[in-house]
Structure 1
Amino acid sequence: MTGNSKIAIYGALAANLAIAAVKFVAAGITGSSAMLSEGIHSTVDTGNSLLLLLGMRRSQRPPDRGHPFGHGKEIYFWSLIVAILVFSLGGGMSIYEGISHIQHPQVMKDPFWNYVVLLSSMVFEGASLVYAIRQFNKSRGKLGFFQELSMSKDPGLFAVIYEESAAIAGLTIALIGVFLGHYFSNPMYDAVASILIGVVLVFVAINMVKESRGLLVGESADYGVVKGVYDLVNAEANVKTLYYPLTMHLAPEEILLALDVEFDKAMTVNQLFSEIDTLERKIKEKYPAIKKIYIEAKNFGGRQRPWVDEAVD
């Protein structure tokens, strides 16, 4: 887990904790349903940041007899719990509040403090989002931003980006709902804004569940890493046949690699062991995230086997 993602989470935690308290106070003063939904949203985000930090801490525990590959996937489990909370507490409660205010409309009082809180929240949430995006851009590849985000293996960054993006969208909707509700003296706009905020959170939660699920069930390393490992190993003169490298993320910065290699049949046992040690050293030097390497070595004649893109799912 990178230090950048941890700092991004701490920043989001501090912002959401302060903003949640202010939003609830403003909702109590003005009676705004959208503001109440925003308070719930910020409270859920605060709890989510704590859960992500808990997942980071637990994922760094060393391997033991029951978990020989370590506890790296703890962070993926807790990011899944975060997504479920965003869906149920954030999205569900916001939609419920909106429907409740449609059934029992409440005329909004002076919205001045709503505007102050919403605009201030936009500044803080925006700053947190910009920082998270900057940290993400430092490590992303050459593909488009959203494509790289969907491929990210670090929940500490992609969860913050998703949540802060939803926060900005929710604040914008709340601001519009409060303005229209006050301008037309119709609480229906405020209630509808609350429902829309819930819909945004549900959409974000579904995307987070999708990301976490892929990592939990054993997602491969990025295509560039797999192809790079293949080319590096296949370039060795004593490697006669190399099959498609198998990889799996055990944590954001921890990859398991399995290779099925046929070496030159003229090699002695000592030469074979030396060649394997050399390959492991070269792979780890070029790709530091690859922490565990298992090579199934065979001493057959074999043949050079070209890279086949169709092997990639």
Structure 2
Amino acid sequence: MAAGGGTKAILAALCANLSIAAAKFVAWAFSGSSSMLAEAVHSLADSGNQALLLLGGKRAKRAATKEHPFGYGRERYVYAFLVSIVLFTVGGLFAVYEGYHKIEDPHEIDHWYWPVGVLVFAIIAETFSFRTAIKESNEVRGGQSWWQFIRRAKAPELPVVLLEDLGALVGLILALFGVSIALATGDGVWDGVGTVCIGVLLLIIAVILAVETKSLLLGEGASDADVAAIGAALVDGDAVTRVIHLKTLYLGPDELLVAAKIAVQHDDTAAEVARAIDAAEARVREAVPVARMIYLEPDIARAKTDT
């Protein structure tokens, strides 16, 4: 995928989650641990989420049609939003329900070595998956902090995988904590408490993902730095004297729409204006490569209050 789509990170997470989900279901079947069941469903939901991200990336590559003249780039945002919904319902709400049920009707964990062994294995596998996501994210996040990267990234896949992997690791630690306390005390309530904590964690992550992908779905413009670069590239001081107004919109993670009204000399001929527009478009594409669709409206330079 383009624009930091993170295909490698998604595939690593998918392989890890499928193997972990199978192991967790086996451990739950032998031990009866609610934490193991919640974690198994969590891993299964994460596997479905990664499949959704891959599907969204594939469908977003479709060529523009008469019905969708700007293409299907935003479909990646749609599938990322679906991921947050799946994580919220299948992962978070199920874990809270299962944990509450276990607290209301606690029972001891059987065959303790199954859940403990699987959790240790899962922590190791998730660590490798998380490491892959961090490595790919570092290649595109630049000098941004991790929170800034999650908030500002236009390609949704890497932030989604990062938060999923982080949630999975913390959830596994919570599950191990709940199981360990339940085994040490002989009180199955702690297994339920750990399960509820996992559910709350997943709900928080799901809400963060939903808020961020909703913003992308509604349509976000270019960053301040890119807007400044586009504005500077449009003006050459000769044919184009200034930018009257400028608007940008991401049609997809790797395609930016630029619409601007530019001031040209009042005595330029139509041919000169056309050449100035072509040159301005070339400068913008060189300055900001994702600016692939550019519409420029020439106007006569007047007062600074032009709109």
Q: What TM-score comes out, normalization by structure 2 length?
A: 0.95
**Equivalent residue for 1:311?**
none
Partner SS, residue 160 of structure 1: helix
- Indicate yes or no: 2:138 matched with 1:137: yes
- What is the CA–CA distance in structure 2 between the aligned matches of 1:271 and 1:151, rounded to whole Å? 39
Partner SS, residue 268 of structure 2: coil
Q: Could you tell me how far 1:46 is from its partner in structure 2?
A: 0.3
- Indicate yes or no: 2:150 matched with 1:178: no
**Equivalent residue for 1:208?**
209
Post-superposition Cα deviations, 1:115-163, rounded to whole Å, max 9, x if no partner, equal 2111111111111111111111111132322112211111111110010
Partner SS, residue 54 of structure 2: helix
**Equivalent residue for 1:290?**
291
Q: Is contact 1:248–1:255 with CA below 8 Å preserved after alignment? A: yes
Q: Could you tell me how far 1:243 is from its partner in structure 2?
A: 3.0
Q: Could you tell me how far 1:303 is from its partner in structure 2?
A: 5.6
Q: Is contact 1:8–1:132 with CA below 8 Å preserved after alignment? A: yes
**Equivalent residue for 1:32?**
33
1:295 aligned partner, one-letter code: L
**Equivalent residue for 2:77?**
76
Q: Is contact 1:108–1:182 with CA below 8 Å preserved after alignment? A: yes
- Indicate yes or no: 2:224 matched with 1:242: no
Q: Is contact 2:229–2:287 with CA below 8 Å preserved after alignment? A: no
The within-5 A match list for 1:72-221 is 72-221=73-222
Moved more, 113-122 or 188-197: 113-122
Q: Is contact 2:5–2:155 with CA below 8 Å preserved after alignment? A: no
Q: Is contact 1:240–1:303 with CA below 8 Å preserved after alignment? A: no
Partner SS, residue 260 of structure 1: strand
1:191 aligned partner, one-letter code: G
Q: Could you tell me how far 1:263 is from its partner in structure 2?
A: 0.9
- What is the CA–CA distance in structure 2 between the aligned matches of 1:236 and 1:24, rounded to whole Å? 67
Moved more, 108-117 or 49-58: 108-117
The within-5 A match list for 1:268-279 is 268-279=269-280
Q: Alignment identity in percent?
A: 34
Q: Is contact 1:255–1:291 with CA below 8 Å preserved after alignment? A: yes
Q: Could you tell me how far 1:182 is from its partner in structure 2?
A: 0.2
Q: Could you tell me how far 1:235 is from its partner in structure 2?
A: 4.1
Q: Could you tell me how far 1:304 is from its partner in structure 2?
A: 7.0
- Indicate yes or no: 2:64 matched with 1:49: no
- Indicate yes or no: 2:305 matched with 1:302: no
Moved more, 239-248 or 130-139: 239-248
**Equivalent residue for 1:254?**
255
Root-mean-square deviation (CA), in Å? 1.4
Moved more, 239-248 or 179-188: 239-248
1:50 aligned partner, one-letter code: A
- What is the CA–CA distance in structure 1 between the aligned matches of 2:205 and 2:277, rounded to whole Å? 45
Q: Is contact 2:245–2:262 with CA below 8 Å preserved after alignment? A: no
Moved more, 286-295 or 2-11: 2-11
**Equivalent residue for 1:20?**
21
- What is the CA–CA distance in structure 1 between the aligned matches of 2:301 and 2:183, rounded to whole Å? 81
Partner SS, residue 243 of structure 1: strand
Give aligned pairs, total. Answer: 304
- What is the CA–CA distance in structure 2 between the aligned matches of 1:5 and 1:143, rounded to whole Å? 17
For structure 2, the residue ranges without an aligned partner over 5 or more in a row are none
1:17 aligned partner, one-letter code: L
Moved more, 126-135 or 240-249: 240-249
Q: Is contact 1:241–1:303 with CA below 8 Å preserved after alignment? A: no
Partner SS, residue 6 of structure 2: helix
1:126 aligned partner, one-letter code: T
Q: Is contact 1:4–1:135 with CA below 8 Å preserved after alignment? A: no
Q: Is contact 2:149–2:159 with CA below 8 Å preserved after alignment? A: no
**Equivalent residue for 2:234?**
233
Q: Is contact 1:128–1:164 with CA below 8 Å preserved after alignment? A: yes
